[in-house]
């Protein structure tokens, strides 16, 4: 986490958390979701436009990537100075790319070690790594198949609905927040 962020957290310890404004899609892109986008539906829905606009500002993306983490409840967030901005996940907290040597790198740019490989009932592939679970980017599925063919990894079957509970991540911190607020 950036030093400037840590200092801001100390200086302003009671800034309210933010929900629903930032999402991570299946291609590892950060998406901004303003009020009008949020009224279109949940980030995970198939509603056109509900995912918001792709962030393109390189320095902002780098800042988000450096300050991306999870809390004890499995809710992933971006620590934006003193404010915690919870992230809506289309699928998993990480989107992994593979290089020619089958090394995995998260959408945040961090390299990680693969512990296991999973394939769900829809054919989506995931890597369980030392940094957590992540979907394999669609452009790297053939490379993943090659790693399996070479015997580097064994593809274990999984059920998509069980992933978040088993690997301790929450797809929609906003939904959980709203339910506790109403409840």
Set out the domains of the chain in order of their start, with CATH numbers.
3-91+169-182 (3.10.540), 94-159 (no CATH)
Task: Say what the pLDDT of residue 166 is.
Answer: 97
Per the model's pLDDT, the better-predicted residue between 12 and 61 turns out to be 61
Cα gap 55→134, rounded to integer Å:
20
pTM: 0.92
E-assigned strand segments in 37-154 = 53-54, 68-70, 76-80, 83-89, 94-98, 104-106, 111-112, 114-119, 125-129, 132-136
Write out the two tokens for 116: 């296991």
Q: What is the pLDDT of residues 86-127, one digit of tens each?
A: 999 999 999 999 999 999 999 999 999 999 999 999 999 999
- Rounded to an integer, the average pLDDT of 156-175 is 96
């Amino acid at each position: 986490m950036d030093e400037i962020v840590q200092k801001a957290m100390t200086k302003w310890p009671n800034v309210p958390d933010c929900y629903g404004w930032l999402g991570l899609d299946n291609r590892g892109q950060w998406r901004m979701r303003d009020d009008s986008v949020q009224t279109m539906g949940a980030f995970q829905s198939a509603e056109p436009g509900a995912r918001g606009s792709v962030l393109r500002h390189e320095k902002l993306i780098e800042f988000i990537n450096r300050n991306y983490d999870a809390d004890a409840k499995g809710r992933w967030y971006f620590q934006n100075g003193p404010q915690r901005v919870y992230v809506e996940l289309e699928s998993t907290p990480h989107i992994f790319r593979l290089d020619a040597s089958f090394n995995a790198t998260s959408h945040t740019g961090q390299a990680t070690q693969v512990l296991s490989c999973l394939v769900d009932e829809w054919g989506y592939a995931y890597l369980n790594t030392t940094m957590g679970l992540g979907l394999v980017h669609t452009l790297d599925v053939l490379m993943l198949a090659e790693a399996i063919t070479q015997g580097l990894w064994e593809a274990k079957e999984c059920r998509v609905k069980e992933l978040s509970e088993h690997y301790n991540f929450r797809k929609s911190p906003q939904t959980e927040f709203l339910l506790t607020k109403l409840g």
